[in-house]
Structure 1
Amino acid sequence: MKIQKETIEFEKGKSFKLFSPSLKNCFFWHYHPEIELVYVEAVNGIRHVGKDISGFTDSDLLLIGSNVPHLNFDYGIQTECKQLVLQMRENFLQDIILPVPEFENIRTLLERSYLGLSFFGETKRIIIEKLQIIKNKGSFESLMGLIDILQILADSNEVKELNKEDTRIKWFLNDKIRMGTIYDYIHENYDKKPNVNEIATIVSLSTPAFCRYFKKQTNMTFTDFVNNYRINQAKIFLLKDYSVTEVCFQVGFESLSYFNKLFKQHTGETPSEFKKKHFKAIEINGRIGTISRDSSCNK
């Protein structure tokens, strides 16, 4: 889970690029200087932006600032996943937005994007439509369309800040303990018995010091974080048509009743209700043919 710097190439004469990536089960924990607007559509998925790790349902629209580490949004998704990613050149803010007084609100939006911004409601619906439109436009029209999109986002109140503080790569590189090591441990052990004493030893801290550190970085206890991760993984297995009992033990819970209780606390519905609701939606929409239990890395 070492953080990787992604090198982004642009077409000559273009200020941004708009494309549909597909990494699927590859774990690509990365950053880049370019500001990025991401739309992802899936029955269920995990967003990991900066320190924030949370789930989304149906779709998500995010603005991610320069050098903010994030995970590919199709990671672990076994149902159909649609993505549109718009990346602006590194100098987009400085050369195109800053010199123009009329772009003041857009400037504020882009400067604030280092927190990771998730948009919802009518704003998300409108932006999705406009992204689809500019895909087929020429260079000048698409640039004007992007400015229009940024203005709508800048004026919207339908937005949630994912992080409370700066989580750009400088923060991660200056972090002597490196949260990446902890994420790696949880990712590899969530289905077993992640032990707070063991991970504390790995990062060279006493258990009490580790617990204080972890709570400060994530605003969650280690146990709550692991359970949250397990619930998100459970959603993925449920959508691969495993039974509730299979999923319970596959993600590391030892009690079916506790799993059901915790799942409902996190999602507002039981595992059975979640599976029935979303499988029905998949069948009705015809989004997928057969959901495979196999995992592969498709780049």
Structure 2
Amino acid sequence: MKIQKEIIEFEKGKSFKLFAPSLKNCFFWHYHPEIELVYVEAVNGIRHVGKDISGFTESDLLLIGSNVPHLNFDYGIQTECRQLVLQMRENFLQDIIFPVPEFENIRKLLEKSYLGLSFYGETKKKVVEKLHLMKEKDPFLSLIGLIEILKTLSDSTEVIELNKEDTRIKWFLNDKIRMGTIYDYIHENYDKKPNVNVIAEIVSLSTPAFCRYFKKQTNMTFTDFVNNYRINQAKIFLLKDYSVTEVCFQVGFESLSYFNKLFKQHTGETPSEFKKKHFRPIEINGRIGIIARESACNK
């Protein structure tokens, strides 16, 4: 469960690899020296990159820098989830980008990627189209496609910096606490009453020490993290057509007014507004199903 260094193998003669991993219930808290571009599709999910822990709805496109710890993006997702991951060789920046003056903006982008960058809007749409096209091309044309993707990202203003400070592995090397244990405890108890004293005992820390550790690792208090997790789970239930009242109690809140207030603080919308915007029924072969509308709600 402790942080792991992922060893990435590349095909001979290729500067990058493009693949579709599926880990699902595996907790893979890891890092690697290779810069990584990740596209993930899911009704709702949580991203943990460096210190940032935040949610996304429908899809996310992330550029993760060298040696930045991150959790696999399909961890804990119980609904359908698809991913495309592109990993560049460790020497990609130095050998391919640095020597070419025309790649100055790309160089700045890749150097900045240690913050963890989330892209949205038209940028995300264009890049995802190019990623799918790259799968069908020969290695040379795929490399040209990668340069085009990096150019699109480097020119974009549709980007969120997930971290405000350096969170590369040197910051985490002395971490001996099993973050997976904490995640699992919250996942199993978020709809009840997660107890900070219980989880502190599970990971062999006093409660004050655990609170300091957790705040240092996540920039959030344990209570704030649990509520953030509940709100992300609430989105899933809303998109499954549960009523707002049902969802409130389903995810562990005891007050509907507090749930509405907290949901709006986290998303900028009330639960009713979120459901109205992102949910609509559709008829498939005479049966009613649901789809989530494409949106920029993960901005």
**Which TM-score band (shorter chain)?**
0.7 to 0.9
Q: TM-score, normalised by structure 1?
A: 0.81
Partner of 2:149: 149
| Secondary structure at 1:63 match in 2 | strand
Distance 1:42 1:256, change over 3 A: same
Distance 1:183 1:95, change over 3 A: same
Partner of 1:135: 135
Matched-pair contact (CA < 8 Å) for 1:78–1:240: no
Find the aligned partners of 1:123 and 1:116 in 2 and give their Cα distance: 16
> What are the equivalent positions in structure 2 for 1:250-261 lying under 5 Å apart?
250-261=250-261
Is 1:233 aligned with 2:227? no
Partner of 2:68: 68
Deviation at 1:142, TM superposition (A): 0.9
Matched-pair contact (CA < 8 Å) for 1:77–1:236: no
Find the aligned partners of 2:179 and 2:106 in 1 and give their Cα distance: 32
> In angstroms, what is the RMSD of aligned CA positions?
3.1
The number of residues matched between the two structures is 289
Partner of 1:44: 44
Matched-pair contact (CA < 8 Å) for 2:6–2:30: yes
Deviation at 1:264, TM superposition (A): 3.1
Identity of aligned residues (%): 88
Deviation at 1:64, TM superposition (A): 0.6
Deviation at 1:59, TM superposition (A): 2.0
Find the aligned partners of 1:189 and 1:28 in 2 and give their Cα distance: 21
Find the aligned partners of 1:20 and 1:47 in 2 and give their Cα distance: 17
Is 1:83 aligned with 2:83? yes
Deviation at 1:284, TM superposition (A): 7.0
Q: State the AA in 2 paired with 1:86.
A: L
Deviation at 1:38, TM superposition (A): 1.0
- Using the TM superposition, name which of 75-84 and 33-42 deviates more: 75-84
Find the aligned partners of 2:113 and 2:129 in 1 and give their Cα distance: 21
> What are the equivalent positions in structure 2 for 1:108-187 lying under 5 Å apart?
108-175=108-175, 182-187=182-187
Distance 1:27 1:160, change over 3 A: same
Find the aligned partners of 2:27 and 2:238 in 1 and give their Cα distance: 20
| Secondary structure at 2:128 match in 1 | helix
Distance 1:228 1:31, change over 3 A: same
5+ residue gaps, structure 2, are 291-299
Distance 1:215 1:6, change over 3 A: closer
| Secondary structure at 1:39 match in 2 | strand
Distance 1:222 1:84, change over 3 A: same
Find the aligned partners of 2:202 and 2:229 in 1 and give their Cα distance: 20
Deviation at 1:46, TM superposition (A): 1.6
5+ residue gaps, structure 1, are 292-299
Partner of 2:295: none
Cα distance per residue 1:29-60 (max 9 Å; x no partner): 22222211111233322211111111112321
Find the aligned partners of 2:8 and 2:93 in 1 and give their Cα distance: 17
Matched-pair contact (CA < 8 Å) for 1:261–1:270: yes
Find the aligned partners of 1:241 and 1:171 in 2 and give their Cα distance: 42
Q: TM-score, normalised by structure 2?
A: 0.81
Matched-pair contact (CA < 8 Å) for 1:24–1:76: yes
Matched-pair contact (CA < 8 Å) for 1:52–1:218: yes
Find the aligned partners of 2:232 and 2:141 in 1 and give their Cα distance: 40
Find the aligned partners of 1:200 and 1:178 in 2 and give their Cα distance: 11
Matched-pair contact (CA < 8 Å) for 2:52–2:219: no
Deviation at 1:89, TM superposition (A): 1.5
